[in-house]
Amino acid sequence: MKNDERTPSPSPEKQTTTAEKEEPKKAPAYVPPATKEKRQKSVFKYITILFAAAFVLMLVAFMMERRQNEQVVDSLNQSVSGLRESLSNMQSAQDIYDENMELIEQINELQSENDRLTNENRDLSNSQKNSEKSVEAMGWFWQIDEAYVLGKYSLCRSLIDQMGDELAAALPTEAVTDNGRFSPADRYQEIYDAVY
């Protein structure tokens, strides 16, 4: 009689299949963005990588020029040390005079080389600053372009005001791609004219 009182419980396999049947299927929560947005993101990544590579190359060139400059100064110091040693050895006055003239010529050459390297260093520094401004301007430009494309004209005007004229002037005037599209500067001007 004890066996009759027990009711068989359903197997765990049957329980899981009924639970699965009871849960309704849900719609996917995420729909992938359109290919145009993917292209914009990839172009932005490409431009960012190009600017980063240019920045790294300028930094490497700057470091190489600085190292050369230090070598020139070391060479100059060695030349001066050589002059002092020659004087301490009590050479004849003519020998000292000849060596002194050679060292003066070397100093003049090294000084002109130092001036040239200093000018190149200044040019590289200016180029680096321009590249940094261009990268910052491109960041603002992409936000302005996206706001314009999405029809958020008040946000677009606000971003243009925040960006300022100095950064707008730093936008590239040439298109990076050969697809006949506007350069960033031309597109910015088109958006500016449309919202103001």
Residue-level pLDDT, tens digit, the chain, 196 residues: 455 555 555 555 555 555 455 555 665 555 555 677 788 888 899 999 999 999 999 999 999 999 999 999 999 889 888 877 766 665 677 777 888 899 999 999 999 999 999 999 999 999 898 888 888 888 998 999 899 889 888 998 899 888 888 878 888 887 777 666 778 888 888 888 888 8
Sign of the CA dihedral running 116, 122, 128, 133 = negative
- For 173, the domain range is 36-195
* 105 falls within a domain: yes
* 13 falls within a domain: no
* 173 falls within a domain: yes
* 87 falls within a domain: yes
Nearest 5°: phi and psi at 62?
Answer: -60, -45
- Confidence (pTM): 0.38
* pLDDT value for 186: 85
In one-letter notation, the amino acid at residue 60 is V
Number of domains composing the chain: 1
Residue 150 tokens read as: 């999405």
* 2 falls within a domain: no
* 5 falls within a domain: no
* pLDDT value for 1: 47
Which among 116, 45, 110, 54 has a CA at the least distance from the CA of 79? 110
* 24 falls within a domain: no
Local structure of residue 173 (DSSP, 8 states): S
* 11 falls within a domain: no
Q: How far apart are CA 188 and CA 170, in angstroms?
A: 11
Residue 79 tokens read as: 């030349």
